[in-house]
Amino acid sequence: METHALEYAFVRGTEAAAIAAGRLVGLGDKNAVDGAAVEAMRTALASADLSGVVVIGEGEKDEAPMLYHGEEVGNGKGPSLDIAVDPIDGTTLASKGGPGAIAVIAAAPRGALFRTRVPYMEKLVTGPAGRGVVSIDVPLEENLRALARAKGREVADLTVALLERPRNEDLMRAVRAVGARVRVFGDGDVANAVYAVLEDRARVDMLAGIGGAPEGVIAACATRALGGEMQGRLWARDERDEEIARGEGLRIGRTLTLDDLCASELAIFTATGVTDGEFLDGVRYRRGSAFTQSIIISSYSHVIRTIDARHDLRPRNATGVPGASSAPRHH
């Protein structure tokens, strides 16, 4: 399978999820938003020329309609891949009509992606300037000083994205105490990690703190494709999370490098906007069409591509997949 065809297969999956979920934005039912996105993404991926296994998904097999851990996707005729999905990154945001919800798929060769059912991970993510410079094992203040030196900037010029949760309050205080700025976000872990790596479009210089472990693995694919730096440590809320880690042969608190999280130099990250945000525009519906904005970040083809597309929503096949995109505009 040609690289561009593989990349577009994933974009079709995120587009389908975004279009299905977009109809439910602002109605207050996050389960309905998520369910619509999952089913649309699953249907779109079923016909793709690939042999994929979901290693980062939304649950176990008996919890369908989630895209569950171990689920096989694709028609089996293409490359063997690990697949990480987040049909809606920012489900609560989408249900409330808030900004920045996206549909996401990431992939790497089979066996490359870190696998865990531990829900949470402490993360440190930067762009290429942070490679060999920052370490999750030292205080955040030291990392900010080191990153500022590497970028030739002052610490006061740096911005750190932190998920707004009580568990991250100490880090927020540390960032402010050293003179850097904090950008808090209530949801949307993946998008904010990608912000930190996209240095030419940088809204933040670093993502830090404790967020979702599945989102961490997805972010690792984007970080790998962009040549950035990422490290993590699994974080346990309670004894049950510790038991999950032990059962997987993992240790809570062990430092995970980018090589642990995404062991291949080849990785693909695709996302489509569900609601308007700084990262991507949300879905718009006009006269039987849906308009989407997506991004492909791929080390397979060494590309960052933004795609604006119009989709004909008139029924014309038996699968329920939205109509094919018109010729997209590439940026």
2 is in an annotated binding site: no
91 is in an annotated binding site: yes
142 is in an annotated binding site: no
Q: List alpha helices for the chain, DSSP H.
A: 3-22, 30-46, 91-96, 140-151, 169-177, 189-197, 213-226, 239-247, 258-261
215 is in an annotated binding site: yes
Residues in Cβ contact with 262 at an 8 Å cutoff, skipping those fewer than 6 apart: 108, 112, 113, 114, 217, 220, 221, 223, 224
Question: CB 310: neighbour CB atoms within 10 A?
Answer: 17
39 is in an annotated binding site: no
13 is in an annotated binding site: no
Say if strands 120-126 and 229-235 run parallel, antiparallel, or are unpaired. Answer: antiparallel
Is residue 34 helix, strand or coil? helix
Do the beta carbons of residue 164 and residue 185 sit within 8 Å? yes
Do the beta carbons of residue 208 and residue 142 sit within 8 Å? no
188 is in an annotated binding site: yes
Please give the structure tokens belonging to residue 300.
């397979």
Q: How many CA atoms lie within 13 A of 218 on its CB side?
A: 30
Q: Cα–Cα distance between 3 and 113 in angstroms, integer?
A: 19
145 is in an annotated binding site: no
Backbone angles phi, psi at 210, to 5 degrees: -95, 125
137 is in an annotated binding site: no
Q: How many CA atoms lie within 13 A of 240 on its CB side?
A: 4
86 is in an annotated binding site: yes
259 is in an annotated binding site: no
Q: Which residues are documented as binding site for substrate?
A: 89-91, 120, 165-167, 187-189, 212
Q: Which residues are documented as binding site?
A: 34, 58, 86, 89-91, 120, 165-167, 187-189, 212, 215
Q: Which residues are documented as binding site for Mn(2+)?
A: 34, 58, 86, 89, 215
